[in-house]
């Protein structure tokens, strides 16, 4: 059996723009995509720390420092809101306990300040 597990999270990124007229998605800077291994067009869950909204959308590559809510997602957050961006993957149930997601930490300008596996057992496998 396969289950979904968190494989990467961009932690407390700041929304830099909201574009209601775009067709949809979230724009994320290329440095954060590379550090997290999140791919353009991959489905992610976005959790807004400021208002509690949770939604799923797909990723598009943005500019360095950019976290832009596009299309309908622009109604779910405002510029300056803090968000968690979570990517999930499928793994066999018997291997799930060994998965340790990457946690991407950023400063208030969405500049990468750290990449670390979340706490786990010493024999954990960093996913992806």
Catalytic residues: 25, 58
- Determine the straight-line distance between the first and last CA of the chain, rounded to whole angstroms: 19
- Residue where the block lists tokens 């018997």: 94
**Nearest CA among 39, 75, 76 for reference residue 59:** 39
Max Cα-Cα span within the chain: 47
């Amino acid at each position: 059996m396969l289950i979904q597990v968190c494989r990467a999270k961009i932690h407390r990124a700041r929304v830099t723009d909201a574009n209601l007229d775009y067709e949809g998605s979230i724009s994320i800077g290329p440095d954060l995509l590379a550090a997290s291994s999140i791919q353009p067009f991959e489905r992610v869950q976005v959790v807004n720390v400021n208002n509690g909204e949770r939604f799923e959308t797909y990723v598009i590559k943005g500019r360095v420092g950019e976290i832009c809510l596009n299309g309908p997602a622009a109604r779910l957050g405002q510029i300056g809101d803090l968000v968690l961006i979570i990517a999930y993957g499928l793994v066999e149930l018997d291997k799930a306990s060994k998965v340790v997601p990457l946690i991407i930490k950023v400063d208030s300008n969405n500049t990468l300040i750290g990449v670390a596996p979340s706490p786990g057992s010493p024999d954990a496998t960093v996913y992806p």
